[in-house]
Amino acid sequence: MTTTTYREAMRRALREALAGDERVFLMGEDVGAYGGCYAVSLGLLEEFGPDRVRDTPLSESAFVGAGIGAALAGMRPVVEIMTVNFSLLALDQIVNNAAALRYMSGGQFHVPLVIRMTTGAGRQLASQHSHSLEGWYAHVPGLRILAPATIGDAYGMLAPALDDPDPVLIFEHGALYGMKGDLPDDPDPVDLTSAAVRRTGDDLTIVTYGGTLGTALDAAERLAGEGIGAEVIDLRSLRPLDMPAVLASVGRTHRAVVVDEGWRSGSLSAEVSARITEDAFYDLDAPVARVCSAEVPMPYAKHLEDAVLPGADDVVTAARSLGA
């Protein structure tokens, strides 16, 4: 075991990918000389050179499009977008091109592209840098959407994502980069199709992903002090969803709370809740509850940001409301 951080685990994965396959290269704003906005790529330019670690102009549409072209030509690009909010400037490239080219070519063309971006709030970066929009992308056929919430997944998701013949988007919650933990020296491969049970329990299922996993685990610990056993499911993959794992848990606990940092209206939590209701209605002893961010642009002020975000207290209150 090696004690490391979420950011260092991602850097290790990138370094191994660059060293192991000459087709792999990293491109994005400030990924080279600056070492990445969140220091994930620090030192990689010096190790692999400017052909493999490429600083790009401030034009998301241009460099995501360049990544798509490189993928079509046989390369394995890793494109970093500084924050999910900025990815909106590349929506045409991601949704109309990367996601659709395999279908529109009748399977003749694949786009083996990985796009990494930071998501989430909690760091006082205001509305332009703090929203959780991964649920928007999970709406789009042709994309695989990943949300690593642990150090193991931060390291282990990149390699299988690069092996995927179709585009993969990895959403890294900005509040997790400094998180510390142990990473095995020889980790097991990560299965991109399966959710993970992060805590077992028999009275309630809490479904979450990414930056709110810690919130859900804190809530489960508080509930345990009240004699309520909460099982915490980390979705890990937002498209496709591993609903069999969620439904199996709900089938045992008979209650569910879905925690999502996105806005409640039209959110990923709405999709998960609908599927639970459609497929496990007769297993439920109470309606599915949701805990989401308040429906406002993310504030800058710390006390307002904290008030907007879903917290452990909110999850505990939702759990209690279900009679768990």
The answer to whether residues 45 and 130 belong to one domain is yes
Asked if residue 200 and residue 174 are part of one domain, the reply reads no
Angle at 178 between CA 46 and CA 51, to 5 degrees: 20
Rounded to an integer, the average pLDDT of 121-148 is: 95
Q: What is the pLDDT, as a whole number, of residue 188?
A: 84
C-alpha–C-alpha distance, residues 236 and 208, integer Å: 9
Within a domain: residue 99?
yes
Residue 45's DSSP bridge partners are none
4-22: pLDDT as tens digits: 999 999 999 999 999 999 9
> Which of residues 122, 148, 183 is at a domain's end?
183
- Could you tell me if 7 and 54 lie in one domain? yes
- 159-182, pLDDT tens digit by residue? 999 999 999 999 999 999 999 999
Q: How confident is the model at residue 213 (pLDDT cuts 50, 70, 90)?
A: very high
Active site residue 60: yes
Q: Check whether residue 30 and residue 174 sit in a common domain.
A: yes
Q: Per the structure block, which two tokens stand in for 143?
A: 């994309």
Q: What pLDDT was estimated at residue 187?
A: 87
Q: Give the pLDDT confidence of 237-261 residue by residue, as tens digits.
A: 999 999 999 999 999 999 999 999 9
Compute the distance between CA of residue 203 and CA of residue 224 in angstroms, rounded to an integer.
10
Once rounded to an integer, what is the mean pLDDT over residues 228-239? 98
281 part of a folded domain: yes
User: Range of 218's domain?
Assistant: 196-321
Q: How many domains does the chain have?
A: 2
Q: Is the distance from CB of 145 to CB of 134 less than 8 angstroms?
A: yes
Comparing 1 with 224, the larger pLDDT belongs to 224
Read off the pLDDT of each residue in 119-148 and give the average, rounded to a whole number: 95
Give the CATH number for residue 37. 3.40.50.970
Distance of CA 175 to the CA centre of its chain: 12
Q: Is residue 296 part of a domain?
A: yes
Choose the catalytic residue: 60, 80, 231, 261: 60
Question: Residue 226 above 90 pLDDT?
Answer: yes
Cβ within 8 Å of residue 168, ≥6 positions away: 113, 114, 115, 143, 144, 145, 146, 161, 192
One domain, residues 47 and 95: yes
Is-catalytic flag, 129?
A: yes
Tell me phi and psi for residue 34, to 5 degrees: -80, -20
Share of the chain above pLDDT 70, in %: 100
User: Has residue 212 been placed in a domain?
Assistant: yes
Is position 246 within any domain?
A: yes
Q: In this structure, is residue 40 part of a structural domain?
A: yes
306 lies in some domain: yes
Instruction: Specify the DSSP class assigned to residue 215.
Output: H
Mean of per-residue pLDDT scores for the chain: 96
Indicate whether 3 pLDDT > 80: yes
3-state secondary structure of 123: coil
Which CATH number goes with the domain that contains 276?
A: 3.40.50.920
Same domain, 140 and 64: yes
| Residue 119 lies inside a defined structural domain of this protein | yes
My answer on whether 83 and 210 are in the same domain is no
* Same-domain check for residues 164 and 212: no
Are 115 and 164 in contact by the 8 Å Cβ rule? The answer is: no
Compute the half-sphere exposure of residue 200: CA atoms within 13 Å on the CB side of its CA.
1
Judge if 145 and 210 occupy the same domain: no
Domain end residue (candidates: 183, 205, 240): 183
3-state secondary structure of 173: strand
**pTM for the model:** 0.96
Residue where a domain terminates, one of 183, 206, 224:
183
Which one is catalytic: 8, 80, 129, 131?
A: 129
Residues 201 and 179 in one domain: no
Q: Going along the chain, which residue ranges are E strands?
A: 2-5, 24-28, 53-55, 76-81, 114-119, 144-146, 168-173, 180-183, 196-199, 204-208, 230-234, 237-239, 256-263, 289-293
Would you state the pLDDT for residue 227?
96
Are 169 and 207 in the same domain?
no
Give mean pLDDT, residues 130-135: 96
230 lies in the same domain as 175:
no
Q: Label residue 324 by pLDDT band (50, 70, 90).
A: confident
